[in-house]
């Protein structure tokens, strides 16, 4: 008798790295239950679309993706942030089989069971030890909490995802260890507000290898630093205790990299945004951090054209940027988010002014970035190889997070000491030979 064919799931994952982690969890669970993933719509018994509902443009993209999946396959389950608005989805696409909100793993999996029943009972051995990952094998996102206790006026994430809910440190560490054992060499720590980790748990301790580890960022990072992999911190707000992370960077326990979403520098705009740590003396903090760890990379994101932003506020931002000399910066033109408090603020900035400020901001930052990268020419850095492109290897240094920062192009030629050839995940020592505004070129020396 021939073996019954495993049901196949199509999966479309939209949105931020946090949504990607959700997708991985759902897929891990389905894989454990004997489902397979389909490479295209045609081969899928049902398609799950994990949506993003943050900006209007993301909502449109999500609705379009649902429409495409319906047209191509016809059997569609929707989950993720936009899933919190079932009526919107059903109004646009009445044919969807089910709609579930963010982090409702059981509900999505239940909807899949209903649409395409599993072949047999869960059989854990079907899951690879690291779960199912959508990122390349050598790096992985590690989500340490969900939700957020802040109420930034432009953001609806707390409404979509709820208040901060941290995972116990032991739970996070076990996942991190599993990933490291499965070959992951770089962990990207994510959440909505990494600095607030554990506040909701009152920093309670949990067991990891017979010892208590507190749900506090410094304690968690210290323990993560023992795993022997790169640890990169995202979405860190400049609360005072962030200073405690700097010694861990100086000791090489976590990467000297901080992703701090400053969003603006004008105190007036920061207050209107209701940003956490709006009053922090950030320039002095940055100076102190860099004095302790000179190779520290600081990445940030900003919004220009927020309601009420005057030319003077914008100039304050440009001056701050010049002083702060951040390494990596993303900039968004302010866009109204449905139901966000900021929509009611007076002083909407006309689109052409937003556009003009965005270009001026990017030009200023490009010059800063080019200046900072040029200083690296001649130095030696560690590079993690991401992919091979013919003879050339493309990688990233400690200063580059995947997808959002620059790249390091490793020169083709004889393999470096310690390797017959470079493969993704190899960490190689390299000498920087050239730089432009975003990327570096380097020659590999020896495998680390
Ligand atoms: S800190 Fe602000 S922007 Fe970030 S998730 Fe919380 S409310 Fe939204």
Q: Ligand 1 centre and the CA of 209: distance in Å?
A: 34
From 52, 157, 237, give the residue whose CB has the most ligand 1 atoms within 8 Å, as the site to mutate: 157
Q: Ligand 1 centre and the CA of 150: distance in Å?
A: 6
Nearest Cα residue to atom 1 of ligand 1: 150
Instruction: Please tell me the distance from the alpha carbon of residue 409 to that of residue 443, in angstroms, as a whole number.
Output: 8
From 193, 196, 277, 303, give the residue whose CB has the most ligand 1 atoms within 8 Å, as the site to mutate: 193
Which residues lie closer than 8 Å to 322 by C-beta, 6 or more apart? 364, 368
Question: Where does the pLDDT of residue 24 fall: very low under 50, low under 70, confident under 90, or very high at 90 and above?
Answer: confident
Q: How far is CA 431 from CA 96, 208, 260, 291, 392, in A?
A: 53, 39, 28, 24, 15
Nearest Cα residue to atom 5 of ligand 1: 192
Q: Ligand 1 centre and the CA of 401: distance in Å?
A: 21
**pTM of structure:** 0.79
From 17, 102, 149, 152, give the residue whose CB has the most ligand 1 atoms within 8 Å, as the site to mutate: 152
Q: Ligand 1, residue 158: give the atom nearest the CA.
A: 7
Token pair in block for residue 81: 């942030």
Please list, residue by residue across 312-330, b when 16 or more beta carbons sit within 10 angstroms of its beta carbon and e when fewer do: ebbebbbebbeebebbbbe
Answer yes or no: is pLDDT of 404 > 80: yes
Angle at the Cα of 333 from the Cα atoms of 328 and 334, rounded to 5 degrees: 120
CB atoms under 10 Å from CB of 212, counted, come to 12
Q: Ligand 1 centre and the CA of 99: distance in Å?
A: 25
Q: Ligand 1 centre and the CA of 246: distance in Å?
A: 23
Q: Is 99 left (phi over 0), alpha (psi -120 to 50) or beta?
A: beta
Please list, residue by residue across 61-87, b when 16 or more beta carbons sit within 10 angstroms of its beta carbon and e when fewer do: bbbebbeebbeebebbbbbbbbbbbee
Higher-scoring residue by pLDDT: 270, 16: 270
Residues with CB under 6 A from ligand 1: 148, 150-152, 155, 157-158, 192-193, 276
pLDDT digits (tens, 9 = 90+) for 352-383: 999 999 999 999 999 999 999 999 999 999 99
Q: Ligand 1 centre and the CA of 274: distance in Å?
A: 9
> What's the pLDDT score for residue 412?
78
Strand partners, 442: 410, 432
Instruction: Using only the alpha carbons of the chain, give its radius of gyration.
Output: 23
Q: Ligand 1 centre and the CA of 341: distance in Å?
A: 12
What's the whole-number mean pLDDT along residues 4-24?
A: 82
CA dihedral 440, 261, 321, 258 (to 10 degrees): -50
Token pair in block for residue 94: 């009445």
Write phi, then psi, for 306 (nearest 5 degrees).
-65, 145
Sign of the four-CA dihedral 154, 158, 160, 161: positive
Side by side, the strands of the sheet bearing 8-13 are 36-37, 8-13, 46-51, 76-80, 98-99
**Mean pLDDT of all residues belonging to the chain:** 88
What's the whole-number mean pLDDT along residues 23-34?
A: 79
From 158, 190, 274, give the residue whose CB has the most ligand 1 atoms within 8 Å, as the site to mutate: 158
What's the whole-number mean pLDDT along residues 55-67?
A: 87
Instruction: Please tell me the distance from the alpha carbon of residue 205 to that of residue 224, in angstroms, as a whole number.
Output: 15
Q: Ligand 1, residue 161: give the atom nearest the CA.
A: 5
pLDDT digits (tens, 9 = 90+) for 265-302: 999 999 999 987 666 688 999 999 999 999 999 999 99
Q: Ligand 1 centre and the CA of 350: distance in Å?
A: 25
Q: Ligand 1, residue 274: give the atom nearest the CA.
A: 2
Q: Give the H or E element holding residue 360.
A: helix 351-374
Question: Where does the pLDDT of residue 414 fall: very low under 50, low under 70, confident under 90, or very high at 90 and above?
Answer: low
Q: Ligand 1 centre and the CA of 154: distance in Å?
A: 8
Write phi, then psi, for 259 (nearest 5 degrees).
-100, 105
> What's the pLDDT score for residue 130?
57
Question: Where does the pLDDT of residue 123 fall: very low under 50, low under 70, confident under 90, or very high at 90 and above?
Answer: very low
49: nearest Cα among 89, 17, 87: 89
Instruction: Please tell me the distance from the alpha carbon of residue 362 to that of residue 317, in angstroms, as a whole number.
Output: 12
Q: How many Cα atoms within 13 Å fall on the side-chain side of residue 426?
A: 23
Answer yes or no: is pLDDT of 126 > 50: no
Higher-scoring residue by pLDDT: 435, 82: 435
Sign of the four-CA dihedral 40, 41, 43, 48: positive
User: Treating both helix axes as pointing N-terminal to C-terminal, what angle do 217-224 and 169-181 enclose, rounded to 10 degrees?
Assistant: 20
Nearest Cα residue to atom 4 of ligand 1: 192
Q: Ligand 1 centre and the CA of 310: distance in Å?
A: 23
Contact between residue 46 and residue 75 where contact means Cβ atoms under 8 Å apart? yes
258: nearest Cα among 276, 246, 250, 274: 246
Q: What 3-state class would DSSP assign to 117?
A: coil
């Amino acid at each position: 008798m021939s073996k019954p064919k495993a049901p196949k799931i199509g999966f479309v994952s939209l949105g931020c790295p946090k949504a990607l982690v959700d997708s991985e969890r759902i897929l891990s669970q389905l894989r454990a239950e004997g489902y397979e993933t389909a490479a295209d719509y045609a081969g899928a018994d049902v398609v799950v679309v994990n949506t993003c509902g943050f900006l209007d443009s993301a909502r449109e993209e999500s609705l379009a993706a649902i429409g495409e999946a319906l047209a191509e396959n016809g059997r569609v389950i929707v989950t993720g942030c936009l899933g919190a608005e079932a009526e919107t989805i059903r109004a646009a696409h009445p044919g969807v089989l089910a709609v579930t909100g963010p982090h409702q793993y059981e509900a999505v999996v239940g909807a899949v069971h209903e649409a395409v029943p599993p072949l047999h009972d869960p059989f854990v051995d079907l899951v690879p030890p690291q779960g199912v990952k959508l990122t390349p094998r050598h790096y992985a996102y590690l989500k340490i909490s969900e939700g957020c206790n802040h109420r930034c006026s432009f953001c609806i994430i707390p409404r979509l995802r709820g208040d901060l809910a941290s995972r116990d440190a032991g739970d996070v560490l076990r996942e991190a260890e599993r990933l490291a054992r499965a070959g992951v060499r770089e962990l990207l720590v994510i959440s909505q507000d990494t600095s607030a980790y554990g506040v909701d748990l009152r920093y309670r301790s949990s067991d990891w290898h017979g010892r208590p580890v507190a749900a506090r960022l410094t304690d968690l990072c210290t323990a993560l630093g023992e795993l022997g992999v790169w640890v990169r911190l995202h979405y860190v707000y400049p609360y005072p205790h962030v200073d405690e992370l700097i010694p861990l960077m100086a000791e090489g326990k976590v990467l000297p990299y901080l992703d701090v979403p400053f969003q603006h520098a004008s105190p007036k705009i920061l207050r209107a945004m209701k940003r956490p740590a709006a009053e922090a003396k950030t320039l002095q903090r940055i100076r102190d951090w860099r004095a302790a760890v000179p190779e520290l990379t600081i990445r940030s994101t900003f919004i220009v054209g927020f309601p009420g932003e005057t030319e003077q506020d914008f100039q304050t931002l440009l001056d701050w940027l010049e002083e702060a000399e951040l390494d990596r910066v993303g900039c968004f033109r302010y866009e109204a988010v449905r139901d966000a408090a900021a929509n009611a603020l007076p002083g909407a900035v006309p689109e052409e002014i937003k556009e003009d400020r965005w270009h001026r901001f990017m030009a200023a930052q490009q010059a800063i970035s080019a200046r900072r990268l040029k200083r690296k020419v001649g130095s030696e850095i560690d590079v993690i190889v991401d992919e091979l492109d013919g003879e050339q290897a493309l990688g990233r240094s400690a200063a580059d997070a995947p997808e959002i920062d620059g790249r390091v192009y490793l020169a083709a030629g004889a393999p470096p000491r310690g390797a017959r050839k470079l493969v993704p995940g190899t960490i190689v020592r390299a000498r920087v030979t050239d730089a432009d505004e975003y990327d570096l070129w380097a020659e590999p020396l020896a495998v680390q």
